[in-house]
Chain A
Amino acid sequence: MTKRQIVLLASRLVQVLPVVVLATVVIFGLLQLVPGDPAAVIAGEYATAERIAEIRHQLGLDQPLWRQYLGWLFAAMHGDLSTSLITGQPVVEEVLRRLPNTLLIVCGALMLSISVGVPLGLTAATHVDSPVDRVVTTIASLGVAVPNFWFGMILVGFFALGLGLFPTTGAASLFQDPRAAVMHAALPSVALAMGGTAEIARQLRSAMIEVLGSQYVRTLHAKGLPQSSILWRHGLKNVSLTLLTVIGLVFNRTLGATVAIEAVFAIPGTGTLVVTSATNKDFPIVQGTVFVLVMIVIGCNLLIDLLCTVLDPRVDK
C-alpha cells in the first residue's frame, strides 16, 4: 500500500464520523416528530397521569433536549439502547436476537442478485439491441416495478403451497439447523433479490457498454485480443468500481425492502420488529432497530469506499 492510499483511507475513516453522529441525531430526533406530548401518546388514550409521568421519566422527557440526546448517545455508545416500553426487555437483546434472521435473507438475496445480475448485465452489454438485450432490459424494468412482497406471495402460492418444496413461513437458526435455515430463507431471498438483480444488471450493462465503446478497447481489438479476454480481463476490471458501488446501494435497499418480505414469510427479523413496534408506539425499539440497521449500512458503505480506494489505480497518481 502506498502512502497516498493510506492517507486516503484515513480521510475516509474521518469523513464517516460526522455521518455517524448525524445519524444518531436523526434517530434521536424521531421522538420529536411525535405530535403533542410523546409520553401521553405512548401511554395511550386511557392512561393515568402517573403512567404518563412514569413514561416521561423513563424516556428522560423531563430533561432539556440536549441532555436527553447526550444521555441517549452515551448509553448507546455503551451498548445500551434502553428497554422496550411494552415488554421491558433490553432493546439491544431483542434486536440482536432477530438480526441473524434478517441478515440471512438479505445476504442470500444479495448473493443471488450479484450472481444473476452480473451475467445478465454483461450479456446484454455485449449484445446491444439484440433480442437477448431486449429480454434483459425487460427483466430489469420489471424487476424494479414488481412489488417484492407480491412476488413473495406468488412464490409461496406456487412453490410452498402448490408444490410443497419449501416451508411457507418462519425461520430457523443457521447454527442449530443449517438445512432448515437455508430452506426457510430460500423463497424470501428470491423474492428480495428481484429489485437488486434488476439494478445490478441495468447499471452493469450501461457501464460495460461505455467501457466497450472506449478507445483502449478498440486498441485491444486491433491488437488481436479475443473478445472473451477483453470482456473478462479488461472490461470487468474497469467496471468493478461501478459494480462495488451498486452493490453497496443494493445492500441498503435490500435491507429496507426486507421489511415487507419478512411480513409475508412471518420471519422474526428486524423488519417485523420495526413494524410491530412502530404500530404499538414502542419507540425505544424503533429507535434501537433503526440505529443498528443504519450502523450496518454505514459500515458497509465504508467498507466499499475503502475497497474502491484500494482497487482504483488512479488513486496512486
Chain B
Amino acid sequence: MSERTIDRPPPAPRRGALVRFFAYLRTDLRAALAFTYLILLVLLSLFAAVVAVHSPLAQTPDILSPPSAVHWLGTDDLGRDVFARLIHGAPMTLYASFLAVCVGLMIGLPTGLAAGYFGGWLDTVISRVIDTLLSFPSIVLAIAVTGALGIGLTNSMIAVGIVFSPNIARLIRIQTIIVKGELYVDAARTFGMGPARLIVVHIVPNAIQPVIVQVTLLLATALLSEASLSFLGLGVQPPQPSWGQMLARAYGYMEIAPEQMYAPGFAILCTALAFNALGESLRTLLDPTRRRSS
C-alpha cells in the first residue's frame, strides 16, 4: 500500500500544495476514489432534502417493507423511508466526525506545542497527563464523559474529541521538539523573534504535516465512535436519523427484516475506508523522505 512505489513525474517544487494534491490524485486511483466519494458525501449532505424524495421522519402505515420503486431501500419499523434516513444521516455523521476532530485539535495542538517548545517541568507534567489519558480505553472514557456532560450528539462528540486530544498532543510534541532543534529556528531566535511568533511562523508550519495525516485517520475513528455511541443510544437522539442508530433499530427487527442492517453498515464502512485511504495517501504525499528519493 503505502510502500508501493508510484510512478509519477518529478515534483515541481514551486507548485502550491493544492495543485500538487490534484496532480497526485491522478496517479493514485485509491486516493482519487476516496476523495470523489467524500466530495459526493458532502454534496449529498448539503442537498439531502433534494435528493431524498421522502421525509426521513414521516411515518407511513407500511412498516418494514422490502426495497421497492417507491422506497428504494424499504421502510423501517415505523414505516419511515430508509433511503431518506440514510441520506439525512450523512450530514449528522460528517458534523460529528469533524466536531470530534476539531475539539481534539483545539485541546491537543496548544498543549502539545507548549510541552514540546517550552520543555522542562511543563513538558514532564503534560507528558504524564498524555500517558495517563492514553491508558483509558477510548470508547469507555468517551461514554463516561458523555454521561457527565449529558447525552446527545454534540456532547458525545466533544467527549470523543477530548479522548482524541492526547493522541494529537503527543504527535505535535515530538514534531515540535524535532523542529525546535533546526538551525532556522535558532537563527530566527537570534534575530529576536518572540516565542509566540516563532511558534506560529516556524514551528507550526514545519511540524504540522504528520498531524494532518493523523487528523484524516482520526476522522475515520471519530466516525466509527459516533456510530458506536449512537448505536448505544448515547449519540444522536431519535427521531433524528443516524447510521449507528439505524443499525440499532434494524438489529431489533433482524429476524423479520435482515436486509435493513446492510445499507447503514455499508455507509459507515465506505466512509471510514475513504477517510483512511485519504489519510494513507496524504502520508505518502507529505512524506519528505519519499519526495526526495523519488
Residue positions of A touching B, CB distance < 8 A: 18-19, 22-23, 26-27, 30-31, 33-35, 41, 128-129, 137, 141-142, 144-147, 149-150, 153-154, 156-157, 161, 206, 209, 252-253, 255-257, 259-260, 263-264, 271, 274-275, 277-279, 281, 283, 286-287, 289-290, 293-294, 297-298, 301
Contact = CB atoms under 8 A, between A and B. Distances in A.
A142 B273 contact: yes
A11 B148 CA distance: 36
Given A145-B220, A145-B276, A275 B232 contact: yes
Interface of B: 1, 3-4, 128-129, 131-133, 135-141, 143-151, 220, 224, 227-228, 231-234, 244, 247, 250-251, 254-255, 258, 261, 264-265, 268-269, 272-273, 276-277, 280
B128 A147 contact: no
A33 B231 contact: no
A294 B147 CA distance: 17
B227 A129 contact: no
Contacts of B273: 141-142, 145
Given A30-B145, A283-B147, A290-B140, A297 B228 contact: no
A283 B254 CA distance: 33
Contact of A26 (B136, B151, B231, B247): B136
A294 B233 contact: no
Contacts of B227: 147, 149-150
A205 B159 CA distance: 33
Given A22-B128, A161-B254, 12 more contacts: A141-B277, A149-B231, A150-B227, A252-B135, A253-B138, A256-B137, A275-B143, A279-B233, A283-B147, A286-B144, A298-B135, A301-B135
B278 to A, nearest CB: 12
Contacts of B4: 129
Contact of B276 (A144, A147, A277, A301): A144
B255 to A, nearest CB: 6
Q: Is the interface of B mostly helix, strand, loop or mixed?
A: helix
Contacts of B280: 141
Contacts of A293: 136-137, 140
A33 B132 contact: no
The 9 closest A-B pairs by CB, nearest first: A278-B147, A256-B137, A145-B272, A33-B148, A150-B265, A22-B132, A256-B139, A145-B273, A260-B228
Nearest to A152: B251
Q: Is the interface of A mostly helix, strand, loop or mixed?
A: helix
Given A293-B140, A294-B136, A19 B128 contact: yes
A148 to B, nearest CB: 8
30 contacts: A22-B128, A23-B135, A27-B144, A30-B145, A33-B145, A137-B1, A141-B1, A141-B276, A142-B269, A147-B247, A149-B227, A149-B247, A150-B247, A150-B269, A153-B250, A153-B251, A157-B254, A259-B140, A274-B140, A275-B234, A278-B147, A279-B233, A286-B144, A286-B148, A289-B140, A290-B140, A290-B141, A293-B140, A294-B137, A297-B137
B137 A146 contact: no
Given A144-B276, A145-B273, A281 B136 contact: no
A26 B132 CA distance: 9
Contacts of B129: 22
B270 to A, nearest CB: 8
Contacts of B128: 18-19, 22
B19 to A, nearest CB: 28
Nearest to B244: A147
A34 B228 contact: no
B220 A290 contact: no
Contacts of B268: 147, 150
Contact of A283 (B132, B148, B231, B272): B148
B232 A260 contact: yes
A279 B261 CA distance: 24
A23 to B, nearest CB: 5
A19 B132 contact: yes
Contacts of B247: 147, 149-150, 153
A147 B135 contact: no
A5 to B, nearest CB: 22
Contacts of A294: 135-137
A281 B133 CA distance: 22
Contact of A150 (B141, B261, B277): B261
Contacts of A22: 128-129, 132
B261 A153 contact: yes
A19 B131 contact: yes
Q: Which among A153, A156, A157, A294 has the highest number of chain B CB atoms within 10 Å?
A: A153
